[in-house]
Amino acid sequence: MTETLDTAPLLPWLQPHWAWLQQSRAVGRIPPALLIQGPHGLGKTGLARRWAQALLCRADTTVSPCGSCPACRLFAADTHPDYTRVEPAEAGKAIGIESIRQLIHKLSLKPQYGGYRVVVIEPAHELNINAANALLKTLEEPSPKTLMVLISSAPHQLPITLLSRCQKLPILRPDRDTALAWLASQSLKQEPTVLLDMARGSPLTALALDGTDQLARRDQTIQGLLAVRAGDKDPLQLASQWEKDFSATTLEWIMAWINQLVRLKQGLGHTDTGLATDIPGGSAALQSLSITDLFACWDLLLNTRNRMAHNLNITLLLEELLIRWSQTGRSHNR
Ligand SMILES: [Zn+2]
């Protein structure tokens, strides 16, 4: 991905993080190993790139990368020799020992420009155990002016030995007003509040969802559930409709919706973690289900998710899920 950082403004919710990084530089305490951690869709990758570019930039500034010096131009073209990005060969695969061996070899040579060398490893939790151990040795004996930036949305999956070597820079979801103000400047085709809910409060995810059919598909999924509750649709019929396209994402939508219903039932109101309440019929579902029913549904969904991960027969799973969904709360009065 090529970026021209001189024209891309810093995302507003990352300003404190950026200020912290600049401060570390101003006082001469740049962390040799930095872990940028936080949920997807908040701009961790962009922040790491901006930081790397600022460190490599040859202009006489410590504020932001200039975007026009030779180093910035090489960086923008992804050809800066002192910048290395380590990632899985294929998305979703592990980062193996060979990638780290290559990195160690590269770092054993002199930097080309005599300044900093920056290594970004993303997603760091995809390092396999051998790769993590090899990297640990490098972190324990850091070469001067070599800076490691690890990025992870699942830092708990990193070995504790590695974690303890890193200065952490946690990024939290921005508050709703900040996120919506930023989305308002992005000329969205769809309703920002609904997209943000669907993105669980992550603005960049909301932006990526805009203009896709994800929202319509999410609503269709919930409509199907409501139709089963209302007795307008047979659970087995819905299971056979769903089986072809049902994915972990579909299950996430349902879980987020149930989560939202739980919050509303408890009088907690709206939350960034749930879905919008604008789905027709949602309030009927809310009335027909007690809090106990909703928790039972939640357990059912968790169980379905675990079993999906083990590639069990999806048709059977969906049939069981939808039959139990149609029956939940039917045996007692409220
Ligand atoms: Zn520059």
84-88, long-range: CB < 8 A, 24+ apart: 84/117, 84/118, 84/119, 84/120, 85/119, 85/120, 85/121, 85/122, 86/119, 86/120, 86/121, 86/122, 87/121, 87/122, 87/123, 88/123, 88/126
Amino acid 281: pLDDT: 63
Domains of the chain with CATH codes:
12-172 (3.40.50.300), 213-327 (1.20.272)
Ligand 1 centroid from CA 115, angstroms: 13
Compute the average pLDDT of residues 135-153: 92
pLDDT exceeds cutoff 80 at 136: yes
pLDDT exceeds cutoff 90 at 81: yes
Between 152 and 332, whose confidence is greater?
152
Ligand 1 centroid from CA 13, angstroms: 24
Confidence of residue 74 (pLDDT cuts 50, 70, 90): very high
Compute the average pLDDT of residues 50-79: 89
Ligand 1 centroid from CA 67, angstroms: 5
Amino acid 4: pLDDT: 47
Ligand 1 centroid from CA 76, angstroms: 10
Ligand 1 centroid from CA 91, angstroms: 31
Ion ligand 1, residue ranges at CB < 5 A: 57, 59, 65-66, 69, 72
Ligand 1 centroid from CA 79, angstroms: 14
Ligand 1 centroid from CA 42, angstroms: 25
Amino acid 230: pLDDT: 86
pLDDT in tens, 162-216: 999 999 999 999 999 999 999 999 999 998 988 888 888 899 999 999 999 988 8
| Residue 44 near residue 150 (C-beta atoms within 8 A) | no
Ligand 1 centroid from CA 224, angstroms: 54
Confidence of residue 37 (pLDDT cuts 50, 70, 90): very high
Ligand 1 centroid from CA 170, angstroms: 27
Between 1 and 64, whose confidence is greater?
64
Ligand 1 centroid from CA 110, angstroms: 21
Q: What percent of the chain has pLDDT over 70?
A: 92
Amino acid 280: pLDDT: 59
Average pLDDT over the chain, rounded to an integer: 88
Alpha-carbon torsion 235, 240, 242, 246, what sign? positive
Measure the CA–CA gap between 276 and 218, rounded to whole angstroms.
Answer: 11
Ligand 1 centroid from CA 253, angstroms: 43
Amino acid 279: pLDDT: 60
Measure the CA–CA gap between 317 and 308, rounded to whole angstroms.
Answer: 8
Amino acid 3: pLDDT: 45
pLDDT in tens, 118-129: 999 999 999 999
Compute the average pLDDT of residues 221-230: 90
pTM: 0.81
pLDDT in tens, 268-309: 765 544 445 556 567 777 778 889 999 999 999 999 988 887
Token couple for 251? 């299950």
Got the DSSP string for 235-301? Answer: HHHHHHHHTTT--HHHHHHHHHHHHHHHHHHTT----TTS--S-STTHHHHHHH--HHHHHHHHHHH
Ligand 1 centroid from CA 272, angstroms: 38
Amino acid 332: pLDDT: 52
Between 148 and 269, whose confidence is greater?
148
Ligand 1 centroid from CA 116, angstroms: 13
